[in-house]
C-alpha cells in the first residue's frame, strides 16, 4: 500500500459524487447518513481518526485490482464500491453491525492486512482502540451534528415532560410555595414595621432616620431569607409586579404567572390578618401612604423607578444564569433594602402590590391613592423587562466578556 495519504480535497470530491446520486445503495441501507456525519467531522490532517480513514481510502482508491476486497483493521469495514454508471471509484466508511462479528483470518493475521498495507495496520488498530471505535462492544457516538444534544431546562423553564397532569401538579406546587413564602415574607416584615410605631407612640406618625433604617433592614432581610428558602419551589417571587415583569421578559411562562398572582394576593391577606391577630397594636400603621408634600404623580413615578431596580436585579441575578446565581437572593434582598431606604419616607416603600393590598384589607382601609401601588410597580416591572430584552437582543455578553471566568487566563 502506498504510504502517501490522499489530499482532503480528493476525498471530499469522491464523497460529493456519491451524495449526488439518486441510486446510491448506501442511502437505503443507512450507511449514507453515517457517511454524511463522517464528512462533517473536522478535516484535520493531525487527527488520528482522519488519518486512519484517509489511509484506508487511499488504499482502496490507488489499488483498482482490489476494489471488491475489504480492508478491516478493527472489525470496521472500509469498503470500496463502484456505483452503476460511475467509472470513478470512491471509498466509503461503513460502521459494523455488531462488535462481536466473526473475525476474518485474512484481516487478523499479525497486523499484516493486504499486501503492503500490513505495516500500518498495527498503527491503525491502536489508533482506533485509543478512540474507542467499536472495540469495547459499545455503540459509536458519531452521528449527525447535534444528534445527541439534549435540552437543558433552566430553573424558570416550567415545561414538564409528563403530560397535562404533570403541568397541573407543578403549578399547584409553585402556588403553594408562593402562598407560604408570601405569608412568611410579609409576616416578618409587617410585624417589624409595626414595632417602630409601638416603640415610639409619641412621634405622631413621624419617622426618624433610625426607624426608616429599621424598616428597610426588616424588609430587605426578610426577602433575602425567604427568597433563598423558596427559590427552588416557586422561584421566591412574592410580588405580582415581579411576575408581570418576568412574563414580559420571557423568563416565566404566562400560564405559571396566572397561577402565582392569586396565591400571592391570598398570602398577603393572610399575613396581614395574622399580624393583626397576634401582635398588639393596629396593623393600619403598616399601610403605605404618601408623605405630606408628595403628590400622586410623584408617588407613582417613585414607585415605578424603585420597582424597576428590584425587577432588573431579579432578571440579571436569578433569571440570567451565571457563576453567582446561587447568591441571587442576597443581591435581590440588598436591592430591596436600598430601595426602601429611599422610598419608605416618601411613599411607604411598597414596590409590591401585595405588600400594600394585604394591610389595607386587614385594616379595612384603602387610601384614595391606593391605585398607585399597583400601577407604579407594574410600570417599573415593564421598564426593567424592556431593558432586559434590549440588552439580550444586543448580546450584552460580548460587550464585557469574561465576567464569569473562574480562571484568570480566561479573563
User: What digits encode the pLDDT tens for the residues 301-344?
Assistant: 999 999 999 999 999 999 998 888 999 999 999 999 999 999 99
Instruction: Output the pLDDT for position 165.
Output: 79
- Residues 191-213, mean pLDDT to the nearest whole number: 79
User: Cell 453515517 sits at which residue?
Assistant: 34
Q: What CA–CA distances, in Å, run from 224 to 207, 236, 244, 251, 336?
A: 24, 9, 20, 21, 9
Distances (CA, A) of 128 to 48, 76, 90, 133: 8, 10, 22, 5
Residue 111 clears pLDDT 70, i.e. is over it: no
Question: Which ranges of 30-117 does DSSP label H, i.e. alpha helix?
Answer: 31-39, 48-61
Asked if residues 312 and 388 have their Cβ atoms less than 8 Å apart, the reply is: yes
Joined together, the cell numbers standing for residue 321 give 444564569
Q: In terms of pLDDT, which residue wins out, 86 or 298?
A: 298
Residues 104-120 have a mean pLDDT of 41
Report the predicted TM-score, pTM, of the whole model to 2 decimal places: 0.61
Q: What is the pLDDT of residues 220-274, one digit of tens each?
A: 999 999 999 999 999 999 999 999 999 999 999 999 999 999 999 999 999 999 9
Which segment, 13-27, 67-81, 330-344, 388-402, is predicted with the most confidence on average? 330-344
Please give the average per-residue pLDDT across 373-390, as a whole number. 98
Closest C-alpha among 142, 140, 147 to residue 99: 140
For the chain, what percent of residues have pLDDT higher than 90?
A: 49
Residue-level pLDDT at 35: 46
Q: Is residue 102 predicted with pLDDT exceeding 60?
A: no
Question: Is the model's pLDDT at 70 over the cut of 80?
Answer: no
- Is the model more confident about 198 or about 12? 198
Does position 402 have pLDDT exceeding 70, yes or no? yes
What's the CA gap between 57 and 49, in Å, rounded? 12
- pLDDT over 70 for what percent of the chain? 57
| Span 127-165, pLDDT tens digits | 434 444 444 444 444 444 444 444 444 444 444 445 687
Q: Dihedrals φ, ψ of 226, to 5°?
A: -75, -35
Domain 164-397 classified CATH 3.40.190.10? no
Can you give the pLDDT at residue 74? 46
Note the pLDDT of residue 196: 87
Q: How confident is the model at residue 404, as a pLDDT?
A: 79
Copy the grid coordinates of residue 301: 413615578
Q: Would you kindly state where each structural domain of the chain is located, as residue ranges?
A: 8-131, 164-397
Distance, in Å, from the CA atom of 210 to the CA atom of 217, rounded to the nearest integer, reads 11
Q: What is the pLDDT of residue 208?
A: 86
Q: What's CA 40's distance to the chain center, in Å?
A: 28
Displacement of CA 162 from its chain's centroid (Å): 20
Query: How far is Cα 407 from Cα 411, in angstroms, rounded to an integer?
Result: 7
Q: Is the pLDDT of residue 73 over 50?
A: no
Separation CA 310–CA 249 (nearest Å): 14
Whether the per-residue pLDDT at 349 is higher than 80: the answer is yes
Enumerate residues 6+ apart whose C-beta is below 8 A from 77. Answer: 70, 94, 96
Banded model confidence at residue 59, pLDDT cuts 50, 70, 90: very low
Mean pLDDT, the chain, rounded, equals 74
How is 157-203 classified by DSSP, letter by letter? ----SS-HHHHHHHHHHHHHHHHHHHHHHHHHHHHHHHHHHHH-GGG
Q: Identify the pLDDT of residue 234.
A: 92
Amino acid at each position: 500500500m502506498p504510504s502517501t495519504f490522499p489530499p482532503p480535497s480528493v476525498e471530499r470530491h469522491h464523497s460529493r459524487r456519491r451524495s449526488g446520486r439518486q441510486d446510491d445503495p448506501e442511502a437505503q441501507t443507512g450507511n449514507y447518513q453515517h457517511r454524511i456525519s463522517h464528512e462533517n467531522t473536522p478535516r484535520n490532517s493531525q487527527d488520528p481518526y482522519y488519518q486512519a480513514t484517509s489511509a484506508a481510502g487511499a488504499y482502496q482508491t490507488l489499488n483498482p485490482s482490489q476494489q471488491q476486497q475489504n480492508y478491516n483493521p478493527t472489525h470496521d469495514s472500509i469498503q470500496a464500491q463502484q456505483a452503476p454508471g460511475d467509472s470513478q471509484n470512491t471509498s466509503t466508511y461503513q460502521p459494523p453491525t455488531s462488535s462481536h462479528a466473526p473475525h476474518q483470518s485474512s484481516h487478523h493475521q499479525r497486523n499484516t492486512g493486504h499486501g503492503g498495507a500490513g505495516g500500518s495496520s498495527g498503527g491503525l488498530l491502536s489508533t482506533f482502540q485509543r478512540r474507542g471505535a467499536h472495540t469495547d462492544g459499545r455503540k459509536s457516538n458519531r452521528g449527525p451534528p447535534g444528534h445527541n444534544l439534549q435540552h437543558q431546562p433552566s430553573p424558570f423553564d416550567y415545561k414538564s415532560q409528563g403530560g397535562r397532569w404533570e403541568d397541573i401538579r407543578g403549578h399547584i406546587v409553585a402556588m403553594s410555595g408562593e402562598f407560604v413564602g408570601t405569608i412568611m415574607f410579609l409576616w416578618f416584615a409587617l410585624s417589624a414595621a409595626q414595632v417602630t410605631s409601638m416603640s415610639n407612640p409619641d412621634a405622631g406618625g413621624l419617622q426618624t432616620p433610625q426607624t426608616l433604617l429599621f424598616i428597610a433592614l426588616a424588609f430587605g432581610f426578610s426577602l433575602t431569607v425567604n427568597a433563598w428558602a423558596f427559590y427552588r419551589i416557586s422561584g421566591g417571587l412574592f410580588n405580582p409586579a415581579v411576575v408581570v415583569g418576568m412574563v414580559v421578559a420571557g423568563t416565566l411562562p404566562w400560564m405559571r404567572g396566572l397561577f402565582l398572582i392569586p396565591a400571592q394576593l391570598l398570602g398577603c391577606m393572610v399575613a396581614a390578618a395574622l399580624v393583626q391577630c397576634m401582635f398588639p397594636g393596629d396593623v393600619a400603621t403598616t399601610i403605605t401612604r404618601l408623605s405630606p408634600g408628595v403628590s400622586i404623580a410623584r408617588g407613582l413615578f417613585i414607585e415605578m423607578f424603585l420597582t424597576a431596580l428590584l425587577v432588573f436585579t431579579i432578571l440579571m441575578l436569578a433569571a440570567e444564569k451565571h457563576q453567582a446565581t446561587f447568591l441571587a437572593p442576597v443581591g435581590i434582598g440588598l436591592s430591596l433594602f436600598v430601595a426602601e431606604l429611599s422610598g419608605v419616607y416618601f411613599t411607604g416603600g411598597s414596590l409590591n402590590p401585595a405588600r400594600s393590598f394585604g394591610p389595607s384589607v386587614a385594616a379595612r382601609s384603602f387610601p384614595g391613592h391606593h391605585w398607585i401601588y399597583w400601577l407604579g410597580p407594574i410600570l417599573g416591572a415593564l421598564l426593567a423587562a424592556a431593558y432586559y430584552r434590549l440588552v439580550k437582543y444586543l448580546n450584552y455578553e460580548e460587550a464585557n466578556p469574561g465576567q464569569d471566568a473562574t480562571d484568570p487566563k480566561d479573563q
